[in-house]
A and B are shown apart, each in its own frame.
Chain A
Amino acid sequence: MLELIIFSTLNGLLYGMLLFLLASGLTLIFSMMGVLNFAHASFYMLGAYFGYQISRYVGYWPGLLLAPLLVGVIGALVERFGLRTVHKHGHVAELLFTFGLAFIIEELVQMIWGKVPVDYRVPELLNFSAFTLFQTTYPAFRMFMLLMSVAVFIALLLLLTRTRVGLIIRAALSHPNMVGALGHNVPLVFMLVFGVGCALAALAGVIAGPALVTQPSMAASLGPILFVVVVVGGLGSLPGAFVASLLIGLIQTFAVALNVSVADVLAPLGITLTRDSIGGDLWMATVAQVAPIIPYLLLVLVLIFRPKGLMGDRET
């Protein structure tokens, strides 16, 4: 039991930190520019594929630096030449633009690298088990993923709280118009934020690529959860995104471990429900079976009871 709890916590934290790497970029972009970047998960996928391609020539480690840089530059160019032009047509146009961009990136990836998963390998340096607890081993690469995400989080925190650029960004997060009125080069800040947001997503891709499979559907599988995280955490709130990603990561991992169903809960109370009762399979479904949809349930609940999100300060 303790073993299950420890490993579920580790896995949940890992998944949560990965979500945070992605959600932080998305929150920054949305909060500052009002653009819900549907293509954010696609930049994550691009980062993984670029990392894979680089690892085939020079190994895994250069990819850790190069892939995010490349994708960051691509992101900045998308903002400069794409979003900025579309911006004058309103929010809906920007939304559609990023939506279409997501499709284009997915098709390009399929055309260049094929539809079959690619063999993005864990670097030899990290291909061992970090520790053994209760006869279960934990891979070193996963520890690396966790530590890397924490390091990036701390770096982001320091950037936002200790530097001047961070000051401007934080101001623009909650009062974008005022920042513009004060004479800061807001378009440049926007381009920087978009680029850095995409670079963060790409870094998440390079980290997660070898552990979770690198395939063209990786963007579509992570995309929806990302929006749940951003909405639940609260738009405009980076700490909120952090709390929400950890919350969802832990909930989804722990939910898999629970074999309780509604029927099991009601049985001690004397109410017997089987497959043949009214509602049938609904009562027999265990928490583990519905684990993938629990984040979306949370999303619906948050939207009903607290639309601002857990720590947000703007209406969704």
Chain B
Amino acid sequence: MNILKTWCRWPLAAAVCLTTLGAHAQVKIAYIDPLSGGAATIGEHGLKHIQFLIEKINAKGGVINGQKLEVVAYDNKGSPQESLVQVQKAIDAGVRFITQGNGSGAAIAISEFVAKFNERNPGKEVLYFNYAAVDPALTNEKCSYWHFRWDANSDIKMAALTNFMKDKPEIKKIYIIGQDYSFGHSVRNAANAMLKQKRPDIQIVGDELHPLLKITDFAPYVAKIKASGADSVITGNWGNDMSLLLKAAADAGLQVNWYTYYAGGAGGPTAVKQTGLDHRVYQISEWHTNVPSPEMEAFDDEFLKKYGGANAQRWWYLRMKNQMEMFVDALNKAKSDDPKKVAAALRDMKFKTVLGGEVFMRPSDHSLFQDMYISSFGSGTKRDEEKTGWGWKTVGLIKGEDTVIPTTCKMVVPS
């Protein structure tokens, strides 16, 4: 049976040719993050971020000599194995810059793959920009010359949070809950160690790990938190795991304080509002929508209007804005899109962010150091999130230079 009838052969061939035309677009960066599954909301939100940034960059004239930037999205479904498949697909499509952030499991897999690939394919190197995976291992024992991280690692964040918590005498019993993978383990280990050192009187009444991005009903876990008598919960949960945990807490009327990393991620603010806990949910981040900065506020409003969607999700990853702007600077400084030259330009770059402060990339481990804000979510703020009427309010600021911690990275600089 002739499947391909004559009348559809030519249009088919034309379509195939047209798709390859896209391959002639200029500097490509691959966005490899979950676009389905339990972190789809976060992954999609991040994709909108990078698309908006690239639109702005291209509108200002692009990079190097007017070349345009293009983002190609790949769905890694949150899994490390799938991430490697997608990285290979991206490399086959001619992409030489990869960015990812959701899930240290995927991040470690990608970082190791990129390091091995670059070793075996000199001249065809690929760079990996990590905007959100904060397992400390990525810039310590698993560091790599080809990996750059734009977010403070989990130990820095926990140090900041525990410093904030040590001056609160009302905290007596803490419950730690996290996702069962490398990042969740590092959060719980750091929390246990740092609390013991700074406030040995605090009782850790729970230390729980649950499967990553699989659970839709956290009611049993909330019942456990309630039964433990905890007055505060520490969690590094993100994606559905954060918003559904908060939703279950809201359903059960749980009255505790939450010390989180990612309560502000897409879907989080709506869930916090449901709990009714006014200024009792804290997060540590490099920025929030109420940090005073007219230029950033205008940027945020423009993004909300264009990409906010039905849920009115604002800008969230200042670190991605820093990443892309520093990437553009590196491309222009190196006057080339050769990853080796870009890496050399990036690794010790100092950059003035839209907030006015300076951030710097440390060459010994390719970590970026920046100011960190501890904020609480509640009423009475100038700008709100996701149409809840509540917003973030700064309760603590740690300057970038105070966040610097030593590294065990033994980076091998290629010749």
Contact = CB atoms under 8 A, between A and B. Distances in A.
A, B in one complex? yes
Interface of A: 1, 3-4, 7-8, 11, 15, 110, 115-117, 119, 129, 132, 135-139, 142, 211-213, 215-218, 221, 253, 256-257, 259, 288-289, 292
Contacts of A117: 40-41, 240
B209 interface: yes
B214 A221 contact: yes
A212 B217 CA distance: 6
B36 A7 contact: no
A11 B220 contact: yes
Given A137-B251, A213-B240, A292-B211, A4 B227 contact: yes
Contact of B252 (A137, A288, A289): A137
A7 B251 contact: no
Given A115-B44, A116-B41, A142-B251, 16 more contacts: A4-B226, A4-B227, A11-B223, A116-B40, A119-B310, A136-B252, A136-B253, A137-B251, A138-B251, A139-B251, A215-B37, A218-B216, A221-B216, A257-B223, A289-B210, A292-B214
Contacts of A217: 36-38
Contact of A138 (B36, B41, B252, B254): B252
8 contacts: A3-B223, A4-B224, A4-B227, A7-B223, A11-B217, A137-B251, A213-B240, A216-B36
B220 A256 contact: yes
A153 B14 CA distance: 58
A4 B223 contact: yes
B244 A213 contact: yes
A221 B209 CA distance: 19
A253 B216 contact: no
B284 interface: no
Contacts of A137: 251-253
B180 A289 contact: yes
Contact of A132 (B210, B227, B253): B253
Contacts of B240: 117, 213
Nearest to A3: B227
A289 B41 CA distance: 26
A2 to B, nearest CB: 9
Interface residues of B, number: 33
Q: Is the interface of A mostly helix, strand, loop or mixed?
A: mixed
Interface string B237-253: 00010001000000111
B223 A8 contact: yes
Interface string B306-336: 0000110000000000000000000000000
B35 interface: yes
Contacts of B254: 136
Contacts of B36: 110, 115, 216-217
Contacts of A1: 227
B216 A212 contact: yes
Interface string B129-170: 000000000000000000000000000000000000000000
B219 interface: yes
A259 B252 CA distance: 21
A218 B214 CA distance: 10
B40 A115 contact: yes
A280 B220 CA distance: 27
B253 A211 contact: no
B208 interface: yes
Contacts of A110: 36
B351 interface: no
A216 B206 CA distance: 33
B221 interface: yes
Nearest to A218: B216
Nearest to A136: B252
B348 to A, nearest CB: 38
Contacts of B214: 221, 292
A216 B216 CA distance: 13
B144 to A, nearest CB: 26
Nearest to A217: B37
A221 B240 CA distance: 14
A112 to B, nearest CB: 14
Interface in B215-271: 216-217, 219-221, 223-224, 226-227, 240, 244, 251-255
A289 B215 CA distance: 12
A288 B310 CA distance: 37
Contacts of B310: 119
Cβ-closest 7 pairs across A and B: A137-B253, A256-B220, A115-B36, A4-B227, A212-B216, A7-B223, A139-B251
Contacts of B40: 115-117, 215
A15 B253 contact: no
B217 A15 contact: yes
A219 B221 CA distance: 23
A273 to B, nearest CB: 17
Contacts of A116: 40-41, 44
A15 B220 CA distance: 11
Nearest to B207: A259
A129 B252 CA distance: 8
Contacts of A215: 37-38, 40
B338 to A, nearest CB: 35
B217 A136 contact: no
B122 to A, nearest CB: 38
A117 B255 CA distance: 27
Nearest to A222: B216
Contacts of B219: 7, 11
A215 B254 CA distance: 26
B310 to A, nearest CB: 8
Interface in B29-82: 35-38, 40-41, 44, 75
